[in-house]
Structure 1
Amino acid sequence: MNAHAKDPSFKPWYRSRWAWFVFALPIIVVVASFLTLSIAIVSDDGVVATDYYKKGLSVNQDLTRDQYARDIGLIGQLTVKGTQLELRLSANDATGIAGQPLNLSAQNYASKTEDQTIVLLPRGDGLWYGQLAEPLGIGRWQLYIESTQWRLQSETGGEPKAPLVFKAGT
């Protein structure tokens, strides 16, 4: 017979607390790994931009447009009332801004699905008007006002209470 079978103080390994403690650690890690994998699969946030290489190459063009806006002293004030937009632009040299439609890009930091692009139409006297598809939601927004020659930018946290000031990027 086995020598341990006669010893009353001997316990098999599966009755030892320390054995289960040692086995529990790797089991917990494996379960947590599968949980992390399932979260990663379910909450896929997709590609940020499908044309990321092209956007990377256009950075220098954007910097040139920012510099042009600085050179002509371009400043904008955007008033947001619900979905209604009113933009007032002023510049030292207004020849580059008069009479052309402008694009307003509203990009939500947290959710790409809330991003909007709006065409602002000129009404004269340095004013442009447009309408959002939906009011700016909660969260931080990066806003760009662009023409083919220049670009202004600003940030806001949701719908602003006071007019937003737009300046050339720094």
Structure 2
Amino acid sequence: MTLRSDNRPWYKQRWPWLLMAGPIAVVIAGVITTWLAVTSNDGLVTDDYYKQGLAVNQTLQRDHQASSLGIQADVMRAGQNMRLLIRANEGVAVPQALELKLAHPTRAGQDQSVAMTAEGQGFYSGKLTGEVAGRWLVSIEDPAGQWRLHGEWQADSEEPLRLTAQAGK
């Protein structure tokens, strides 16, 4: 029988700490994951998905209306200032105010709604309430809710975004 020659306590040995490192790392990762799940709002799951499904036909009807009116828009940005150029078929009156909605694809808390006021000759202007960068879903609507234009916008792009109503969508 061999006797242990060193009299160091267990916590001064290397092997117990090496064996405990894995479970300790898992516990720490679990706490961090729980904290992230509780504090962040993903905004991807909606509780009224059935009502949203029923509203799809109304949304499509507004897209078809924009197509029949021949409405097109160019969205331009300079810093926090937004500018629209709206074109429509001959004889179609454009409203004095429009609503520009910017929706972030994954973070609903960053969504913005910008009131656009007419400057004349189809131009509208408004101001952003926060910083925008990356990809955004853009929607332009008239105040009466009769028509809508929508599309995807890369906010970092220097080129204006052209929105055209597509009746086939």
| Fold similarity call, TM over 0.5 | yes
Q: Secondary structure at the match of 1:86?
A: strand
In structure 1, the residue matched to 2:112 is 116
- Tell me if the contact between 1:109 and 1:139 (Cα under 8 Å) persists in the aligned partners: no
In structure 1, the residue matched to 2:41 is 45
Aligned sequence identity (%): 30
Structure 2 spans left out of the alignment, 5+ residues = 4-9
Counting only pairs closer than 5 Å after superposition, residues 5-154 of structure 1 correspond to structure 2 as 7-8=1-2, 29-41=26-38, 43-45=39-41, 47-48=43-44, 52-53=48-49, 54-95=51-92, 97-125=93-121, 127-134=122-129, 136-147=131-142, 148-154=145-151
CA pair 168-51 structure 1, distance change in 2 beyond 3 A: farther
Shift of 1:105: 0.3
Shift of 1:135: 6.0
Greater alpha carbon shift after TM alignment, 140-149 vs 68-77 = 68-77
Q: Secondary structure at the match of 1:105?
A: strand
- Tell me if the contact between 2:82 and 2:127 (Cα under 8 Å) persists in the aligned partners: yes
Distance 2:141 2:74 in 1: 14
How many pairs align? 158
Deviations 1:110-136 (A, max 9, x none): 4333321112223333x1322223465
Q: Secondary structure at the match of 2:89?
A: coil
| Structure 2 counterpart of 1:90, one-letter code | R
Pick from 151, 156, 159: which aligns with 2:153? 156
- Tell me if the contact between 2:137 and 2:153 (Cα under 8 Å) persists in the aligned partners: yes
Q: Secondary structure at the match of 1:64?
A: helix
| Structure 2 counterpart of 1:82, one-letter code | G
Calculate the TM-score normalised by the size of structure 1: 0.68
Runs of 4+ displaced beyond 3 Å: 19-35, 46-56, 133-136
Distance 1:103 1:117 in 2: 7
Calculate the TM-score normalised by the size of structure 2: 0.69
| Structure 2 counterpart of 1:101, one-letter code | A
CA pair 123-34 structure 1, distance change in 2 beyond 3 A: closer
Distance 1:25 1:135 in 2: 43
| Structure 2 counterpart of 1:122, one-letter code | A
